Copies of this chain bind each other. A is one copy, B any other.
Amino acid sequence: MPSQGAEEMFSNPLRALWARGEVPINGWLSIPSAWTAEIMARSGYDAVTIDLQHGYMDFETALAMLQAIGNTSAVPLVRAWWNDPALIGRLLDAGALGVICPLVNNRDQAAAFVGACRYPPQGFRSYGPTRAASRYGDDYFERANSQILTFAMIETAQGLANVDEIAATPDLDGLYIGPADLSIALGLPPETEPSDPKFFEAVDRILAAAEAHGKIACLHARTPEYAQAMLGKGFRFVTLGSDANLLSGAAKAIVKALKT
């Protein structure tokens, strides 16, 4: 993370990675705990995302998690529990460097989301970045609009139908695919790593929209094998591994290993 007092400008390290053509790996934080956040953020991830939608933290815990992540080099992102400008503003004030917004269904929702992440005149974010400014530097206000990342999730039938107009939203940085919800939208079971051709068709459509509008496509994956396979399709950002699943999986595996 850009440290306080650094003489450099405030900048989002993920933008530098993309500029270099790298594909950053993102970890997923659903456990409401600053300690698990710090553990995850030290595991080699380029970014970690605090999930306020299906994760179990309130805002104050998210703040503590942002402070914990601030001890490491991982870029702190958040997934908002809704396209809610009040929540988004508070999370940015607390130091999040990017927001993933669930359930974006059309152009207006996408524009509203992006507006919540940008100070006027680009958007309507309210001013008061107490922690963000002290953590990232005195140029935070001037540079926030260009450095904060905005990802819209395409995960409903409507969102998929409107993916092109969503992708065309100015100042939107990327499209994010949540496989389980997208699968349900397609009439499939909520698999985290689907193999149905209908799913891949939808993915291709989202990737095409992203590419057409110069946006970054991000996939939410569970295993490195699936992630690897999908990266070839053109994703430039990938989420791999959620804290709760990693813990549950590792615990079940170790017990099973001894019991059998």
On A, residues with C-beta under 8 Å from B are 4-5, 25, 27, 30-36, 38-40, 42-45, 53-54, 56-61, 63-64, 67-68, 70-73, 81-82, 84-87, 89-90, 93-94, 102-103, 119-121, 124, 126-128, 130-131, 134-135, 141, 155-157, 178, 180-181, 184-185, 187, 189-190, 223-224, 227-228, 238, 240-241, 243-244, 246-252, 254-259
Q: How many copies does the complex hold?
A: 6
Q: Report yes or no: A36 in contact with B33, Cβ–Cβ below 8 A.
A: yes
Q: Report yes or no: B246 in contact with A254, Cβ–Cβ below 8 A.
A: yes
In whole angstroms, how far apart are the Cα atoms of A157 and B35 in the complex? 32
In whole angstroms, how far apart are the Cα atoms of A82 and B86 in the complex? 6
| CB neighbours of A254 from chain B (8 A) | 223-224, 240-241, 246
| CB neighbours of A58 from chain B (8 A) | 58-60
Q: Report yes or no: B59 in contact with A56, Cβ–Cβ below 8 A.
A: yes
Other A-B pairs, 17, CB within 8 Å; known A42-B248, A120-B156, A228-B258: A32-B35, A35-B63, A40-B251, A43-B251, A43-B255, A56-B60, A58-B59, A64-B64, A82-B86, A121-B187, A127-B178, A127-B180, A128-B180, A224-B254, A240-B258, A241-B251, A246-B250
Residue of B nearest to A223 (CB): B254
